[in-house]
Amino acid sequence: MTGKPGVGDVMPDIAMEGAGGQQIRPGDFAGRRAVLFFYPKDMTRGCTTEAVDFSRLKPRFDAAGVAVLGISKDSPARHAKFTEKHSLSVDLASDAAEGGLSDALGIWTEKQLYGKRFMGMVRTTYMLGPDGRIERVWDKVKVAGHVQEVLSAAEE
């Protein structure tokens, strides 16, 4: 595969670290659909809103048979604090390793803010089919209304 994986491609099966220290891979969701939402940073306004929205609607994702996993470069310990502070019910994974999943997807990239360049996560959501193939991609996500849109696609 050359370039960024897209609809129809198999999601790279790269291990990340869960809040409890366990390994989590996209392949762990084989046989069911899954939503992987990548976000820039725990405890920031937009990321908190997105994680809280996914948690609030998690019972509906569960009813649709769709797993939900939030992913950022934050450490498992920070994820645990984020989860506790906001009573999150969605699982979170740390993709902190260089060459990790967000790197393979091309969504850990150089960004610019107020003239400063830095590496950052492009807020992106992937829906995977039971075969591990990417069914849908939401790129450069705007938080308002996003989770409801993903839920609607999950319930189709």
Residue 10 backbone class (left: φ over 0; alpha: ψ -120 to 50; beta: rest): beta
Catalytic residue among 47, 88, 134, 150: 47
The yes-or-no answer on residue 47 being catalytic is: yes
The tokens for 85 are 């502070």
Let me know if 120 is exposed, middle or buried by CB neighbors in 10 A (0-12, 13-18, 19+). middle
Give the residue numbers annotated as catalytic, written as ranges.
Answer: 47
